[in-house]
C-alpha cells in the first residue's frame, strides 16, 4: 500500500524557493497540531521579549503565513510582515483576519534576500524564525540577509532567530521523522511526516521533505514539499551574526529547535 502511495505522490520539489513557499502556503497550518494554539504559544513567548526590550516596532521576516506576525501584533503597536510571494501574502492576510488583526499588520510582498530594497524604517525587534535562515545555502547569502536586517534595526535592536538544531540532528542524521495526525477534517484525515535526504555537499545540506498524506477509508494521496536546507551549525551561525554586526545574547535549545537572540552592536 505505502509503496504505491509514495510512487503516486505528487512532488513539489522547489526549483526555486518561491515555488516551495507557494506550494506550502495553504497547507502551513497543518504543520501544527493546533494552529490557533501555536499562535497563542508564540504570542506568550513574544510578549516576554517585547516587554523585556520595550519594543513596539516589529519586523517579521520569517516568510511564513502569519504565525509570528499575528503573535507579535497581539502586543506590539506596529508590525510589518514580509511575505516572499503573493500567495503567501494572501494566506497570511487570511490567517490574520481569523484573529481580527488584519488591520494591525502591514503586509509586504518582497524578496527576503533583499529586504533593505523594499522595507524602510527602524525596528526594535526583527524576527527570522521557522528555519528560513537555512534556506540560504551559502555564507554570502546568509550574510547578506543578516546585514539587511542589521540595517533595519535601531541601535541595540534585537534579532530573534529559530532554526533546526543541526548540531543534534547531524549526530544521527535521521531519515524519517513522524509529525502528527489531524482527524475529522472535511476530507478525512491528514498524516504528516518528514523525510530527510542528507547531501554530500560542502557546506553540509539536506533535502527536507514534508509529506502530507490525506484521505479517508481506503483512499489516500500524498503530497511532498521539498526544500534544500543548509545544515547550519550553531557556531557557524554565531560567526555569521558577529560578522554582520550582531552580538549573541542568548542561545538555547527547545526540543529540536535552536533559538538565538542577538543584539545589534
Summarize pLDDT for 238-262 with one digit per residue, the tens.
Answer: 999 999 999 999 999 988 899 999 9
Please name the helix (run of DSSP H) or strand (run of DSSP E) that holds residue 239, with its range, or none.
Answer: helix 234-243
User: How would DSSP label each residue in 61-85?
Assistant: -S-SSSHHHHHHHTT-SEEEEEESS
Domains and CATH numbers, the chain: 2-19+168-230 (no CATH), 21-164+232-264 (3.40.50.150)
Instruction: Please give the model's pTM, rounded to 2 decimal places.
Output: 0.89
How many angstroms separate the CA atoms of 40 and 31, rounded?
Answer: 15
Question: How many other C-beta atoms can be found within 10 angstroms of the C-beta atom of residue 23?
Answer: 20
Decide: 111 and 89 in contact? Cβ < 8 Å: no
Cα separations (Å) of 244 from 37, 151, 158, 159, 240? Answer: 34, 10, 13, 12, 6
Cα separations (Å) of 91 from 12, 84, 164, 218? Answer: 18, 12, 24, 31
Nearest to 265 by CA among 160, 185, 151: 151
Provide the β-strand partners of residue 201.
Answer: none
How many angstroms separate the CA atoms of 20 and 22, rounded?
Answer: 5
Q: Is 245 helix (H, G, I), strand (E, B) or coil?
A: coil
Each residue's pLDDT expressed in tens, for the chain with a length of 265 residues: 343 333 333 334 444 788 889 989 989 999 999 999 999 999 999 999 899 888 999 999 998 899 999 999 999 789 999 998 999 999 999 999 999 998 999 999 988 877 878 888 899 999 999 999 999 999 999 999 999 999 999 999 999 999 999 999 999 999 999 999 999 899 899 999 999 999 988 899 999 999 999 999 999 999 999 999 999 999 999 999 999 999 999 999 988 899 999 999 8
Please provide the size of the chain in residues.
265
Amino acid at each position: 500500500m505505502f509503496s504505491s502511495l509514495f510512487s503516486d505522490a505528487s512532488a513539489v520539489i522547489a526549483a526555486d524557493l518561491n515555488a516551495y513557499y507557494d506550494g506550502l502556503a495553504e497547507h502551513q497550518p497543518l504543520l501544527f497540531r493546533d494552529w490557533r494554539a501555536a499562535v497563542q504559544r508564540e504570542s506568550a513567548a513574544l510578549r516576554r521579549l517585547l516587554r523585556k526590550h520595550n519594543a513596539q516596532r516589529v519586523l517579521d521576516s520569517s516568510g511564513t503565513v502569519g504565525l509570528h506576525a499575528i503573535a507579535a501584533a497581539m502586543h506590539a503597536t506596529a508590525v510589518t510582515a514580509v511575505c516572499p510571494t503573493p500567495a503567501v501574502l494572501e494566506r497570511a492576510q487570511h490567517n490574520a483576519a481569523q484573529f481580527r488583526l488584519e488591520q494591525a499588520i502591514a503586509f509586504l510582498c518582497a524578496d527576503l534576500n533583499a529586504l533593505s530594497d523594499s522595507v524602510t524604517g527602524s525596528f526594535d525587534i526583527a524576527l527570522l524564525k521557522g528555519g528560513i535562515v537555512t534556506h540560504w545555502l551559502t555564507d554570502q547569502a546568509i550574510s547578506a540577509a543578516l546585514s539587511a536586517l542589521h540595517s533595519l534595526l535601531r541601535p541595540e535592536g534585537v534579532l530573534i532567530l529559530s532554526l533546526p538544531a543541526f548540531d543534534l540532528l547531524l549526530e544521527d542524521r535521521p531519515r524519517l521523522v513522524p509529525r502528527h495526525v489531524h482527524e475529522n477534517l472535511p476530507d478525512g484525515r491528514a498524516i504528516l511526516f518528514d523525510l530527510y535526504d542528507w547531501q554530500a555537499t560542502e557546506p553540509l545540506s539536506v533535502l527536507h521533505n514534508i509529506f502530507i498524506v490525506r484521505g479517508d477509508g481506503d483512499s489516500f494521496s500524498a503530497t511532498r514539499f521539498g526544500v534544500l536546507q543548509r545544515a547550519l551549525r550553531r557556531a557557524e551561525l554565531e560567526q555569521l551574526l558577529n560578522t554582520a554586526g550582531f552580538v549573541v545574547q542568548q542561545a538555547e535549545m527547545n526540543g529540536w529547535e535552536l533559538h538565538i537572540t542577538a543584539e545589534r552592536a
